[in-house]
Structure 1
Amino acid sequence: MPQILVVGAGQSGLQLALGLQARGHRVTVVTDRSAERIRSGRVLSTQVMFDSARAHERALGLAHWDAEAPAVGGIGVSVADPGGGRALDWLGRLSAPAHSVDQRIKMAHWLEEFATRGGEVRVGAVTAEDLDALSAGYDLTVVAAGRGGLGGLFARDAARSTHDAPRRALAVAYVHGLAPRPEHPFPAVACNLVPGVGELFVIPTLTLTGPADILFLEGVPGGPLDVFDGVTDPGQHLELTRELMKRYLPWEWERARGAELTDAGGTLAGRFPPTVRHPVAVLPSGRPVLGMADVVVANDPITGQGANSAAKAAACYLAAIEERGDGPFDRAFMEAAFERFWDYARHVVRWTDAMLAPPPEHVREILGAAAGLPEVADRFANGFDDPADLAEWFLDPEGAAAYLDAARARRG
């Protein structure tokens, strides 16, 4: 049985490691933080896991929070008008519920589970120089963490990367006490769009202190939402979030007036350029290593695909390793494993790029039509679970026109 090294203890790294372990592979996980440090630290991300991504967790027996996490039943879309009201407001239903689980809970538990099952965990930062020596003892090294300069090992793929600078400034606050949306009959992600300014996503979640909500601002760089650089006090972060909600999204501010942070680690801010990288890096020794998930395909979180893509990358790599047989873990294997993932990820990249740009006329028509056509609202909502479907209509003007005509005819 080959020995496999996974560097990184996030969604993709731990899902892959636990999947390999369950199939009898000898796996070592290297992480810069222990389970306890993860659990007691700052929030790691926003995340909404849709059904097809959650299915990979269920298949591995890793979906431990189904009874506790809010069952997210839909995606709501609101578009702000210049007067502080809503030009559009509608709700699409998901075919199967989505869940959001604070990654501090999930990753700490999974890391402990991996160790309890007999997996080797090494805790410590790994530099690019360290990786060369460390990888010598393994048949395959998978890099699932870009911190510590490891992401820089993988060269940018200019042919597949649209951007070379951040397209949004990101600010996150986990809160208790958010009032429900009265027009939403079940828990739903609220996507609030402020043209030319940015977005606010409100996400029902499960955190360390129970059910909560995530207030997630995405601001156009240099614009009025891009004001969180240098804000280190969690309370100040939340108050600034509320001030911006009051100015641009008063319907969301009303229900956030009594909200409080879930914990002192419940805020996060930053930015990064959406980037696709080549999946194989060659170390000074000549050994190749394979990048996975957002190490090699980093999308802006505007489409909520980060954790979903990570789960699907882990599933693709697990299948590729299982199907390899006695073949070598060489560059050809690595590139083929990545291309298997890219067949899915390319749809996410295209959709995310489109959502970061001003909407073209056919997208504005779709968003308007969804307010009166539940079929259209539902199909858009389920595109978060299956981004490939969006290529057929949401991203194609002719496909959009044909679909809307048919949907209107069915509506009568």
Structure 2
Amino acid sequence: MRKVLVVGAGQSGLQLAVGLRAKGYDVTLMSNRTADEIRTGRVMSTQVMFDTALRHERDLGLDFWTRHAPRIQGLGVSVAGPGGARAVDWLGRLKAYAQSVDQRVKMAGWLDAFVQQGGQLVVHSASVADLDYLSRTYDLVLVAAGKGELVSMFGRDEARSPYAGPQRALAVSYVHGLAPRPEHPGTEAVRCNLVPGVGELFVMPTLTTSGRADILFWEGVPGGPLDVFRGVNDPAEHLTLTLDLMKAFTPWEHARAAKAELTDAGATLAGRYAPAVRNPVGRLPGGGAVLGVADVVVTNDPITGQGANSAAKCAASYLSSILMHGDKPFDEAWMKATFDKFWFTTGKPVTQWTNAMLAPPPAHVLELIGAGGRYQEVADRFANGFDNPADFDAFFYDPQDAADYLAEVRAAEAAGSGSGSVGASGAAAVPGSRSVPGSGAASAPAGGPAAE
């Protein structure tokens, strides 16, 4: 029986550990906290999982909360205009439902399941020295979590990492008490509110320790009016700041929040981190090699909501590569090939899209966002791109591709075969400057202190 050590009990680490254990591998999982400590701790992310990632969980029998979590059926975008109005407002329909489960609930439940499955759990904060010693007794060591020392084993890939510092200041609140959304009261949806030149507010339905809730997630341009959460440690003060900013910049969302209250004492989170791609193979002092997993080696800003989704896809890809490798040694060449398989199918499209959304959008992207308010086809395609970011390559990055796509949509509508407008407001292009920030839900990388 092959022995595998998985370091980190997050989305990718636990998913891999459970998957390997189910296939008969001798799996040891290192976590820095027990299940109870996770369950009663502070929120860790703002995860919204789309269909592909959820299917990976279902394949392993890890979909414990399907009947309890809100079924997210749409993804909407609003753009703030002058005087507190919305210049653009639309809702894209997802082909299959998405779901958000507080990772305190999810990871604690999965950790219990792993132990019940016969996996060995070691509660310990791993160091490089620990891994150097332990690697000699395992066929493969997978690093799926870490800060500081562990992450330092994986050198930064400068060619794939254009940003040297954080691009957003992040602030999260889990709340009860939001009033129903008047635009679509019967439809659970992620809402992305874009405030040009300032940042983004995401509102996401979720399941938390106390039942259904909503996540309020600000992403602020560093140094701007949203960058005010540093040093705020009191949860009540954190929520007050969140609501005050909503009143100032997204009054249509603030109107729903008159009765908003935090779900629990650990329901807030703030921080920032720099997006980065790192080399996938870490070299230990004794000469051994370890393989980095998910956010450890591909850390994206949560603006496109891909952290937990990418982690699930990475775990599924790595699991497949491990099983196909059989009894052959897990050498450095195999590690690089395993990462490359994930990178080219998932990591690269996600990183390209996320980095593009962090930058000031070019004119053709503004036109695409505005077109979502007039053509349901465009809104739906944007929404489903969160499940399949590779689709953006066909119409999003190149001005000519965007123009050709919108021409096809207009022609289809003119011919009577288009799906029509959303019924919400939307201009042909977002008014104002070329400084509309991007949109997305959120997820916390293992190497960063803030939200996903």
Matches of 2:42 and 2:224 in 1, distance apart? 26
Give TM-score, length-normalised by structure 1. Answer: 0.99
Cα distance in 1 between the residues matched to 2:273 and 2:160:
17
Unaligned runs of 5+ in 2: 415-452
Output aligned runs, 1:7-406, within 5 Å. 7-147=7-147, 149-184=149-184, 185-343=186-344, 344-406=346-408
Q: Structure 2 CA distance, aligned partners of 1:55 and 1:395?
A: 28
Provide the TM-score with structure 2 as the length reference: 0.90
Q: Distance in 2 between matches of 1:327 and 1:160?
A: 30
Q: Tell me how far 1:23 sits from its aligned partner.
A: 0.5
Letter in 1 for 2:169: A
Unaligned residue ranges in structure 1 (runs of 5+):
none
Does structure 2 conserve the Cα–Cα contact (< 8 Å) formed by 1:127 and 1:148? no
SS at match of 2:178: coil
Q: Count residues with an aligned counterpart.
A: 412
The one-letter amino acid paired with 2:349 is H
1:181-219 C-alpha deviation (Å, 9 max, x unpaired): 111240000000001100000000000000000000000
Post-superposition Cα deviations, 1:111-157, rounded to whole Å, max 9, x if no partner, equal 01000111000001111222211222111000000235211110000
Amino acid at match of 1:395: Y
* Deviation at residue 66 of structure 1 after TM alignment: 0.6
Counterpart Cα distance in 2 of 1:395 and 1:152: 33
Q: Give the conservation status (yes or no) of the 8 Å contact 1:126–1:148.
A: no
- Structure 1 segments of 4 or more deviating over 4 A? none
- Matched to 1:211, the amino acid is R
**1:84 positional shift:** 1.3
Deviation at residue 159 of structure 1 after TM alignment = 1.0
Answer yes or no: is the 8 Å Cα contact 1:91–1:377 preserved in 2: yes
- Greater relative CO (CA pairs within 8 A, separation 6+): 2
CA shift, 1:396, in A, is 2.0
Tell me by how many angstroms 1:162 deviates. Answer: 1.3
In the TM superposition, what is the alpha-carbon distance from 1:361 to its structure 2 partner? 0.5
Comparing 17-26 with 79-88, greater Cα deviation is found at 79-88
Distance 1:348 1:134 in 2: 33
Amino acid at match of 1:42: R
| 3-state SS in 2 of match to 1:27 | strand
- Give how far 1:376 is off: 0.5
Instruction: Report the identity percentage.
Output: 63
Query: What amino acid maps onto 1:387 in structure 2?
Result: P
Query: Over the residues paired in the alignment, what is the CA RMSD in angstroms?
Result: 0.8
| Matched letter for residue 401 of structure 2 | G
Output the amino acid matched with 2:386.
F
Structure 1 residues 44-53 or 146-155, which shifts more?
A: 146-155
Partner Cα distance (2:289, 2:360) in 1: 40
Amino acid paired to 2:323 = E
